[in-house]
A and B are shown apart, each in its own frame.
Chain A
Amino acid sequence: MPFGNTHNNFKLNFKVEEEYPDLTKHNNHMAKVLTKDMYAKLRDKQTPSGFTLDDVIQTGVDNPGHPFIMTVGCVAGDEESYEIFKDLLDPIISDRHSGYKPTDKHKTDLNFENLKGGDDLDPNYVLSSRVRTGRSIKGYTLPPHNSRGERRAVEKLSVEALNTLDGEFKGKYYPLNKMTDAEQEQLIADHFLFDKPVSPLLLGAGMARDWPDARGIWHNDAKSFLVWVNEEDHLRVISMEKGGNMKEVFRRFCVGLKRIEETFKKHNHGFMWNEHLGYVLTCPSNLGTGLRGGVHVKLPKLSTHPKFEEILTRLRLQKRGVDTASVGGVFDISNADRLGSSEVAQVQMVVDGVKLMVEMEKKLEKGEAIDGMIPAQK
């Protein structure tokens, strides 16, 4: 919950020991990094909009751990959070993003022509392909912290920008609070709509306040390019389609994203970006590209192979279930990295890695070994 700094000042009446959270049962990035000394050092600080240390860490305090993934356990409330609380966030970023240093520079590459291949993933195995990223609009605070006025302004600006898109991107905005239950169910079933907020990770950070006010989904007529407004980030931009033509998905992603960015710049509200952290988003795990490029792929044999996890690690990929836990050997496979490599590089890893895994699956179907195909660590 957003606290004003009057409240933060009030807390300073209590000693550090009294305010420092009990993290003994916790296993998330924040809990690993936040020592009592660090808490003491940062607790009287606030960003210009009034976001405080307790605001940053509340979700990690309230959610000790997650069964499937190592959660970050903290969020940004605005662009300045990453600066004011860098003592906490830099080590978390380093831990989460494979040793990324405070002095490192991040490379952005949204030139889809730099992707090699990706148009021939076997659709008998690769059921669908999807690329998503997030964008934050400069000058507004982020979803854990923003007021209704700010959120509505983000929505208004986003809808104006999106309504100028044309051609293959021509589409329409559907605000959540005017959608019928039937429309909403259909969009969820099509994997188009974001979940109603039930995840305690999101709830604990305050992102679900005032739901569904100023939230909505915009999509093009072909439903292959979607934008979520005011979910975990100001904008989530998604390109997707059935089958394995990741090349086409990525082309549409890059072209659409660039068009959107142009329109926002014309309105004098660029995206939050800097040369160290790349695109600035609510969750530190999404810094850099904010990109998750993935497929739903049938790997019933490979997924039960003892080397499955090892292969994923070496390919720099991660698995998720379809709708949270995997069903029938179908997995969501995507890039594990966000920061320190470009968009093209990350999608390349997905394309190459999934191609290899499908070949492995085919071998295993024939009862053949895959030992000779185990990849080196990327």
Chain B
Amino acid sequence: MPFGNTHNALKMKYASSEEYPDLSQHNNHMAKILTPAIYERLRSKQTPSGFTLDDVIQTGIDNPGHPFIMTVGCVAGDEETYEVFKELLDPIIEDRHGGYKPTDKHKTDLNPNNLKGGDDLDPNYVLSSRVRTGRSIRGFCLPPHCSRGERRGVEKMSVEALDSLSGDLKGKYYALKNMTDAEQQQLIDDHFLFDKPVSPLLLASGMARDWPDGRGIWHNDTKTFLVWVNEEDHLRVISMQKGGNMKEVFNRFCTGLTKIETLFKDKGTSFMWNEHLGYVLTCPSNLGTGLRAGVHVKIPNMSKHAKFEEVLKRLRLQKRGTGGVDTAAVGGTFDISNADRLGFSEVELVQMVVDGVKLLVDMEKKLEKGQSIDNIMPAQK
């Protein structure tokens, strides 16, 4: 570095105990792991772009806990964050990703032909199906840390790549700052657009700076394949449609993603990926596949059943409200998706969703008829 990190250096004048955050009211992954000793060892460090320990953990300090989910409480500012701060992040990754060890290797499988079934989820219950992942563009800092110049650089490169897609993927980019309020509201109502940043989880990490500069949504003409630019990650790639044909959704997802990756490689860039962490993303919870495959499914009876949480856990699924990560379920309709990201391949995770949702719908139907579901309880996957 030509210069030291001035602000971080100033903090070093205070004893570690004076700077160590008060985490006594906290319940997130970061708070569980970050001891005063770890804080002391890591506080003088920085990544090549100047991301520091306090930058990593600020969101977890400012958001002690979340009513619905166990939050991670930290973010990466660049690819190197996961290396420079591995003493903090490895245990968090292990805790969050089912015991994933620093020596483990992650498997990538984006071949949709390997998915079995998934084309016959009952559309009377399964209202919509969706698969999303994230991608980070190597050489740029991540959303908590990037400057306007970087963010615009990511946007420019992404739009050039996406504009060259063709066939059923042919589409158009809508920069957020040029969108009318009406267009924007329509896209939000269609579940196509990312939220205006109101979640304190995102705000506290700095991801919403300069909003809406450099942000936008690209989608194909049929609105079944979408790319978000510069929200929580550089890119979020989403395939979705009404009804329960997850197979088709996943086909389109894999095809589109592979094409985009090729386009970026042609431009001399690549996605952040390594054989230990898989795809590198802003939030440690999204490492590996970065994949969340889910459905909006009507399960009013099942969701009130005493064993609902247990069933989800055994199926390695999680529930959210239909408005996304920070929302509550409405009218017995839930967003059900894979809980895992790292240590399983894309195909494996979507398979869990397909098989699990099929079972949940069968259970719902049984409960409707007043039948017991005890004999179809699944084993722990």
Q: Which residues of A contact B (CB under 8 A)?
A: 1-11, 13-15, 18-22, 25, 46, 48-51, 54, 58, 61-62, 141, 145, 147-150, 152-153, 177, 203, 208-211, 213
Contacts and interface: CB of A to CB of B under 8 A. Distances in A.
A49 to B, nearest CB: 5
Contacts of A177: 22, 25
B9 to A, nearest CB: 8
The 10 closest A-B pairs by CB, nearest first: A14-B149, A149-B14, A6-B50, A50-B6, A4-B5, A50-B7, A7-B50, A18-B149, A149-B18, A19-B149
Given A1-B209, A147-B19, 15 more contacts: A3-B50, A4-B6, A6-B49, A7-B147, A9-B1, A9-B2, A10-B147, A11-B147, A18-B152, A49-B6, A62-B208, A145-B7, A148-B18, A149-B15, A210-B62
B50 A203 contact: no
Interface in B16-58: 18-22, 25, 46, 48-52, 54-55, 58
Contacts of B141: 10
A80 B8 CA distance: 18
Contact of B210 (A14, A15, A25, A61): A61
Contacts of A3: 7, 50
B6 A5 contact: yes
A144 to B, nearest CB: 11
B7 A5 contact: yes
B7 A49 contact: yes
A208 B206 contact: no
Nearest to B2: A9
Given A21-B148, A208-B62, A4 B46 contact: yes
B6 A148 contact: no
A25 B8 CA distance: 34
B145 interface: yes
A229 to B, nearest CB: 16
B7 A2 contact: yes
Contact of A210 (B7, B21, B46, B210): B21
A150 B12 CA distance: 11
B267 interface: no
A210 B26 CA distance: 12
A203 B21 contact: no
Contacts of B11: 147, 149-150
Contacts of B5: 4-7, 50
B22 A213 contact: yes
B150 interface: yes
B8 A4 contact: yes
25 contacts: A1-B144, A1-B209, A3-B7, A3-B50, A4-B4, A4-B5, A5-B50, A6-B50, A7-B145, A10-B49, A14-B153, A18-B152, A20-B148, A22-B213, A49-B6, A49-B10, A61-B209, A62-B209, A147-B11, A147-B19, A148-B18, A148-B19, A149-B14, A149-B18, A211-B62
B302 interface: no
B61 interface: yes
Interface residues of B, number: 49
A19 B4 CA distance: 22
A2 B58 CA distance: 11
- A3, A11, A21, A48: residue with the most chain B Cβ atoms closer than 10 Å: A3
Nearest to B205: A1
Nearest to B156: A18
A214 to B, nearest CB: 9
Contact of B61 (A15, A48, A51, A209): A209
Nearest to B10: A49
Nearest to B210: A61
B14 A150 contact: yes
Contacts of B147: 7, 10-11, 14, 19, 54
Interface string B147-165: 1111011000000000000
A48 B204 CA distance: 25
A49 B55 CA distance: 16
Contacts of B61: 209-210
B325 interface: no
B45 to A, nearest CB: 11
A11 B18 contact: no
A114 to B, nearest CB: 41
Contacts of B144: 1
A212 to B, nearest CB: 9
A58 B209 CA distance: 7
A9 B152 contact: no
Interface in B295-337: none
Given A14-B149, A208-B62, A210-B62, A6 B3 contact: yes
A145 B54 CA distance: 12
Given A49-B6, A49-B10, A210-B61, A7 B49 contact: yes
B179 interface: no
A148 B49 contact: no
Nearest to B18: A149
B10 A19 contact: no
Given A61-B209, A149-B18, A210-B21, A18 B3 contact: no
Nearest to B149: A14
A7 B58 CA distance: 17
B211 interface: yes
A343 B50 CA distance: 43
Contacts of A203: 203
